[in-house]
Amino acid sequence: MNAHCGTNTITSIRAGGSFSVSGTGVGMVLNHVSSNVLSGLIETLAGPPYDGHADLPVLAGQLQLEADEILHLGESLQLLRFAQLSEGDLMLTDAGKRFAHLETDARKKLFAEHLVNYVPVMGLIKRVLDERPTHTAPAARFRNELEDYMSEDYADETLRTIVSWGRYAELFSYDEQSETFSLENPH
């Protein structure tokens, strides 16, 4: 995902066609976006007057968000394959429409599946935790890997996002004091 986006990005999406996920792989910077905010945006998009399809500038105005804020949200939904950004519009995918109508536990399960399948660093963390006999791993192990691809600040922001999204999806636990990921009590 883009580390810095502004109003020109929305204009360029409108003029230039589709917007694709950039910076793919483990080294992808993840902007910190709350899973609750993402869920709310999916619900908003799924309901009237949008019915799964909204013009980004109009949506930003309706939600009282800045252009870069709505773009970060749209990029996150696109990364997770819950929406598609194209020509200045945000459209829910079938998975996004399904997510909007699920109960909380089913939403978490679908979110977890999409995290592991579409966010490479989440898949890596899950694999490492699954493979280790203790089912634990220090955050430093993943921070160091992220820093091979990005600055310390972006690595920290990406880790905050990973922890937040992983907790929501109940993929793993994270102990703030020991800075350790774990499969212990992920539910």
- Considering the domain architecture, whether residues 11 and 80 belong to the same structural domain is answered as yes
- Considering the domain architecture, whether residues 130 and 53 belong to the same structural domain is answered as no
pLDDT (0 to 100) of residue 184: 80
28, pLDDT greater than 60: yes
Of the residues 99, 118, 144, the one at which a domain ends: 99
- Considering the domain architecture, whether residues 79 and 125 belong to the same structural domain is answered as no
Residue 17 CA to residue 40 CA, distance in Å, equals 26
pLDDT (0 to 100) of residue 11: 32
* More confident call, 144 vs 2: 144
Residue 171 CA to residue 187 CA, distance in Å, equals 8
- Considering the domain architecture, whether residues 115 and 82 belong to the same structural domain is answered as no
How many domains are contained in the chain? Answer: 2
- 160-183 pLDDT, tens digit per residue, is 999 999 999 999 999 999 999 999
- Considering the domain architecture, whether residues 61 and 136 belong to the same structural domain is answered as no
- 61-85 pLDDT, tens digit per residue, is 999 999 899 999 999 999 999 999 9
* More confident call, 11 vs 145: 145
- Considering the domain architecture, whether residues 54 and 112 belong to the same structural domain is answered as no
Which stretch of DSSP H or E encloses residue 184?
none
Residue 121 CA to residue 144 CA, distance in Å, equals 12
In a domain, 82, yes or no: yes
The dihedral through the CA atoms of 124, 129, 133, 136 has a sign that is positive
36, pLDDT greater than 80: yes
In a domain, 1, yes or no: no
In a domain, 2, yes or no: no
CATH number at residue 46: 1.10.10.10
- Considering the domain architecture, whether residues 167 and 111 belong to the same structural domain is answered as yes
Q: Which domain holds residue 150?
A: 103-182
- Considering the domain architecture, whether residues 145 and 89 belong to the same structural domain is answered as no
Average pLDDT, the chain: 88
- Considering the domain architecture, whether residues 57 and 120 belong to the same structural domain is answered as no
Peptide bond before residue 49 is cis, with ω within 30 degrees of 0: yes
Provide the pLDDT confidence category of residue 12 given band limits of 50, 70 and 90.
very low
- Considering the domain architecture, whether residues 81 and 31 belong to the same structural domain is answered as yes
- 71-125 pLDDT, tens digit per residue, is 999 999 999 999 999 999 999 999 999 999 999 999 999 999 999 999 999 999 9
- Considering the domain architecture, whether residues 112 and 95 belong to the same structural domain is answered as no
- Considering the domain architecture, whether residues 163 and 90 belong to the same structural domain is answered as no
